[in-house]
């Protein structure tokens, strides 16, 4: 699965891993405001790696958690979703607006193959100092360069170079950041 090969999501090991993530995110979402130590402890158990000064506002959802790696100074606002069947690498000093979604999971295009239930994924890499606006969506296999901004509501379907603002559906470069 993590290698991007087709897999059966009903495999008992994968079901157990998703249940573990749901239990941990439910605990995280139930923490009191200001419970930074408890939140940190849960994130360290849930995510693959957690930098310093990381904050994720509840509610938060991920498939497995263990494939998510966030750098120092990471902040995610409420209602963020990371579907991490493959690795999601998020750099330092990144901001995710409310309702931002990052997807690595995808399905075969052929209807018969899709109906058979197999899935696959493609990793996502987000550079340093990136800001995803509210309700932005990052699709499987995308890389976003350092210092870039994804405007609110944008749907990123292709790689984003360093130092630009992208917007729209599909997201396109709107301007360079000086």
Sequential pLDDT tens for the chain (178 residues):
999 999 999 999 999 999 999 999 999 999 999 999 999 999 999 999 999 999 999 999 999 999 999 999 999 999 999 999 999 999 999 999 999 999 999 999 999 999 999 999 999 999 999 999 999 999 999 999 999 999 999 999 999 999 999 999 999 999 999 8
In a domain, 83, yes or no: yes
Say whether 107 is catalytic.
yes
Closest to 97 measured CA to CA, from 84, 80, 83, 74: 80
Range of the domain at 76: 12-176
Question: 72-101 burial, b if ≥16 CB within 10 A, otherwise e?
Answer: ebbbbbbbbbbbbbbbbbbbbbbbbbebbb
- Residues found in the chain: 178
In a domain, 149, yes or no: yes
In a domain, 7, yes or no: no
In a domain, 28, yes or no: yes
In a domain, 5, yes or no: no
**Residue with structure tokens 């699965």?**
1
Does pTM surpass 0.75? yes
């Amino acid at each position: 699965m993590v290698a991007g090969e087709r897999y059966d999501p009903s495999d008992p090991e994968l079901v157990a891993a998703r249940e573990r993530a749901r239990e941990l995110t439910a605990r995280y979402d139930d923490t009191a405001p200001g419970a930074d130590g408890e939140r940190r402890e849960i994130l360290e158990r849930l995510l693959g790696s957690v930098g310093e000064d990381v904050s994720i506002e509840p509610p938060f959802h991920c498939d497995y958690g263990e494939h998510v790696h966030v750098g120092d100074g990471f902040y995610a606002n409420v209602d963020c979703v990371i579907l991490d069947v493959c690795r999601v690498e998020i750099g330092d000093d990144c901001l995710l607006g409310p309702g931002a979604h990052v997807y690595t999971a995808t399905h075969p295009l052929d209807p018969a193959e899709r109906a058979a239930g197999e899935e696959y994924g493609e990793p996502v890499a987000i550079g340093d100092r990136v800001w995803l606006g509210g309700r932005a969506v990052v699709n499987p296999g995308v890389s976003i360069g350092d210092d870039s901004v994804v405007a609110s509501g944008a749907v990123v379907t292709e790689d984003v170079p360093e130092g630009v603002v992208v917007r729209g559906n599909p997201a396109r470069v709107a301007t360079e950041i000086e």
